[in-house]
Structure formats: structure tokens, C-alpha cells
Amino acid sequence: MGTPAKRIVISGYYGFNNSGDEAVLQSILLALQEQGERQGVLFVPVVLSVTPGETSRTYGVESVHRMKPGEVWAALRGADGLISGGGSLLQDETGWKTIPYYLAVIRLAQWLNKPVFIYSQGIGPVNRPMFHGWVRSAFQRCTYITVRDEESKALLTRTGLSADRVQVVPDPVMGMPLRSRPPQNREDGSNCIIGVSVRFWRTDRAELHAIAQALRTILDETEAHVRFLPFHLPSDQEASLYVLGQIGGNYEHRISLADGIVHPQDMLAEVAECRLLIGMRLHSLIYAASQFVPMVGVSYDPKIDQFLNRLDMKAATSTQSASAADIAEHSLALLANGKAWKEDKHPAIERLKNEAQRPAALIASFYAKGRD
């Protein structure tokens, strides 16, 4: 008999030109392939995407439109299971419609008697109490539940879900490999690239002004080159250009912008070239950690702090009270002591990288045992 093929629908925030979420998808696909080969299961992914044609071309998978109920229904009906994740899917900070959408996909799969796997999700914030019961009810019927931090597990237990149902694993992107050449970042003063990932958040742009001021200080005190890395197009590119405009001065030859990078492994290669990364986007920090690049976090959301906590780190500053001095101080210290940082964080990073495929291993084991 040949290897059994299992069609798995993957639900998440895919097709929106967000490098972080695309990295989650790429990491899940690679992990399923690797774990399936190890355990004798052939996975056939079907991705729910807002741009299914682009998703199919980029990753070589089947894809259907996430907002067309008929297509979602048909995909789930013909599937052997549903993966919901990863990323921050179940949160109502950005709007009230997000949680109902993702729970509706889960509920539909359960109504069709398909096993559902929660894959390394970041849960919360959930500010509306009515959603607690909805989440608990849907998750109680899930086959496996994995979340990316202890805070997400704690939130689920507050909804009434049993703690022993929830496993804490790393973000799947920690396990995403480089596609090609090894990184060329160096510990001496040559080829000193500082990657910068920014996004719009505050209406007064105070955090972007602080980052610009910090970058001026760093450029004045080092020979570094600043390279802006937009993770969500086109908005992060616009934010990068805004900060670039705020820097001013005669730094043009020492500043560049990574333009139009869509594939997550191409962005990972950019981050791997850096000697330091200053990041607002969660996955910019995860990319850096996975490549042992020292990072400085600027927190706009608890998920930033939660990830840094796993490396026994804290954000240099927050968007609520952004401090240019703190960003510059943390950055200059890491530039001077990058080797010591890598030695200190190496065990924790290796552990996260090794554990990142655990959800895929659980799913492959489920199907390898002949259950459906």
C-alpha cells in the first residue's frame, strides 16, 4: 500500500501580504511535509486565503477564497481535518469580527465531523466576555490545542477550558529554515547592517519619531548601515519611508529599503544578514531569534513582550511611552556585545527551534495511527 494522503485545510490570516503570517503558513507547510515523511503520511494542504491564486503560485498548494462560504464549505467537506493557526487569530483588539470568523470555520469543520487542530496560536487579547464561552465551546471539541506562550494558555483556562488540554509550543516560524545562502553578518565593524521593522500604530507617530531619533544616534556613533524591512505591504513600507524622512541629515548613503519582498524565506535571508534588528513586528523579532541575530523590541502589543519573555528579555520601550534614548542604548549595547548575547541566548533559541515542529508531529502521529 502507498502512503495515505490526507487533505488538510489550513485556516489563518493568509494572502494579505503580511510577511509574518505568510511565514507562519510556510513554516506549517514545511513542518507538515517533514513530519509526514517521517511518519508515513502524505499531507495535501488546502489553504484558505484572501488571494488564493497568489497563495497557490507562491507555495505550490491548493487554495480557496477564505471569504467565499461555498468554497470553504466544499474544501472542508472534502478534507480529512482542519488546522487553525498559527498567529494571533483569536483576538478582538483589531475588531470584533475576527473571533467569530475563525470560530465559524472551526465550527463548520466540527459540524462536518472533521478533526480540528489548533496550531501554535497566540490567543488574545479577548476583551469581550461573550467570546469566552464561544472559544471554550469550540476548543473543547478540538483534537489538539497548541498555543505559542503561557499567557495564551492562561487566557484559555480563564475561559473555562481545562489546562491539561493545552500544550505550549514555540511560534512555528522559529523552525523555518533559510532557503539558500548562509548569513554573512559579522562581529567586527564591517558589513554592520541594522535591520529595522516598523509599522504605523499611534496616530501622533510618537513611536516612529522616537525610532528615527534613536537611529540618528546609532548612525552618529557607529559605521552601521540601516536597512528597513517592511513586513506588511504596503503599510510597513509607508511607515519605513515615514521614519526615513524623519531621520534627515546626510545619512542617505547609509540607509536602504528592502523593496517588495513577499516570500517569507526571502525576508528571513534579509534578517539573517543583520548584525542587529530593531523590531515592532512580532515576526521580525522571531526571524531574528531564529537566526541568532540580537534584537531590540519596541512593544505595541502583549505578544511582543510574551515572545521576549521566552528569551528572558524585555522590550527596550513601548509605543505608549516610546523612548529614543532607551532604543539607542539597548541597540548600542547589543552592537558592542553581540557575541555574548548569542552565547547567552543560544540554548533557549535552540530549544525553541527544536520544539517548533511539535504540533506537526502530533498531527502526523494522529493520522499515522489510522484515525480519521
pLDDT of residue 94: 81
pLDDT in tens, 81-104: 999 988 889 988 888 899 999 999
Q: Is the pLDDT of residue 180 over 80?
A: no
Q: What is the mean pLDDT of residues 298-321?
A: 95
pTM of the predicted structure, to 2 decimals: 0.89
Which DSSP string do the residues of 249-289 spell out, in sequence order? TT-GGGEEE--S--SHHHHHHHHHT-SEEEESSHHHHHHHH
At a CB cut-off of 8 Å and minimum separation 6, what does 203 contact?
A: none
At a CB cut-off of 8 Å and minimum separation 6, what does 331 contact?
A: 194, 214, 218, 276, 278, 296, 316
Give the span between the Cα atoms of 240 and 211, in whole angstroms.
10
Residue 205 contacts residue 236 (beta carbons within 8 Å) = no
Q: What is the mean pLDDT of residues 233-256?
A: 94
pLDDT in tens, 196-235: 999 999 999 999 999 999 999 999 999 999 999 999 999 9
> Above pLDDT 90, what percent of the chain?
86
H-helix segments, 40-97 = 52-59, 69-77
Instruction: Characterize the bridge pairing of strands 5-11 and 276-279.
Output: unpaired
Residue 328 contacts residue 334 (beta carbons within 8 Å) = no
Domains of the chain and CATH, by start: 5-169+356-368 (3.40.50.2000), 193-352 (3.40.50.2000)
**Total length of the chain:** 372
pLDDT in tens, 99-124: 999 999 999 999 999 999 999 999 99
At a CB cut-off of 8 Å and minimum separation 6, what does 19 contact?
A: 230, 231, 232, 233, 261, 262, 264, 267, 281, 283
Q: Helix, strand, or coil here: 18?
A: strand
